[in-house]
Structure 1
Amino acid sequence: MPALATSVSAARSRVGRRVGHWGWPDAVCDTAQLIVSELFTNAIVHTDSDTVICRIESTGRALRIEVADEGPGLARRVPRAADGDAEAEGGRGLMLLDALAARWGVLVSERPAGCTVWAEIRP
């Protein structure tokens, strides 16, 4: 999808439809949509990507989400404390991912740029 703010909503909707089609509980669907929103937003805010790729897979025991960007490569991606300002909009994405996902990580691309952040959700 194009790396545009409007694509976040589209990715969220597509994931919601697919997860619902697979028969996962509503709570898993909601969590998947939230994680896709966070990862997709991070990809467009923190990289110069033209395209962001979102993949989703159901293994029956877990739901795996991957969001790939075309950014400058692997940066240190760890949850960090958000700005102390309650009005601040940023800084909570990876902390949220850490709280919602059963496990998550970052895959380094074989290309000189880009990486994929993945998360697994279990009911």
Structure 2
Amino acid sequence: MARIKEQVTLQQRAARPVELLSPDRDPEVRARACTHAFPRRHASVSAARRRVHAHLRACDLPGELCDLAELVVSELVTNAVLRTESSVVSCTAQVLAHGVRVAVDDEGPADAPPSGREMFLVDRVAGSWGTLPGADGRGRTVWASVALADAESGRPER
């Protein structure tokens, strides 16, 4: 937990990243993605956390990055479970060149910004985050990116 707090502090001090690689342009990135759908209930939060963490560890990512991404997954799925009327919540984790992008699809209003203490924590931990209208024109996607730490300085890559 101490390492997570250190990483959070480093992320807070660093400038926000401009952009990570687009997963649509790189087939290797698409291959390093996992998506899981869950019913909207509290038990889905821990299930999403476990599945994403296992996927990221299988991709040989550093433990600290897996822990940060797991925290973001937990908060985004919690936000969807608590603050939308979705019947299903879908969570995607994509391994990118400089980190991990997590996206949670819900059936919430596309123009309603995510709110609550979950998003406060995501804002503090993630390098960047935002919302997009759902792919089918209904619902929304709330995404967040967590960057790999620079090996020499311990600061996130930007």
TM-score relative to the length of structure 2:
0.66
Equivalent residue, structure 2, for 1:24: 61
CA deviation after TM superposition for structure 1 residue 46, in Å: 0.7
Contact 2:79–2:114 under 8 Å retained in 1: no
Identity %: 41
5 Å-filtered alignment, 1:1-123, equals 1-77=38-114, 91-123=116-148
AA matched with 2:129: W
Q: Which 4+ stretches in 1 moved above 3 angstroms?
A: 110-113
TM-score relative to the length of structure 1:
0.83
CA deviation after TM superposition for structure 1 residue 24, in Å: 1.1
Q: CA RMSD in A?
A: 1.5
Q: Identify unmatched segments of 5+ residues in structure 2.
A: 1-37, 149-158
Equivalent residue, structure 2, for 1:81: none
CA deviation after TM superposition for structure 1 residue 95, in Å: 1.3
CA deviation after TM superposition for structure 1 residue 72, in Å: 2.8
* Structure number with bigger Rg: 2
Structure-1 separation of matches of 2:134 and 2:54 = 28
- Matched length: 111
CA deviation after TM superposition for structure 1 residue 112, in Å: 5.0
Q: Identify unmatched segments of 5+ residues in structure 1.
A: 79-90
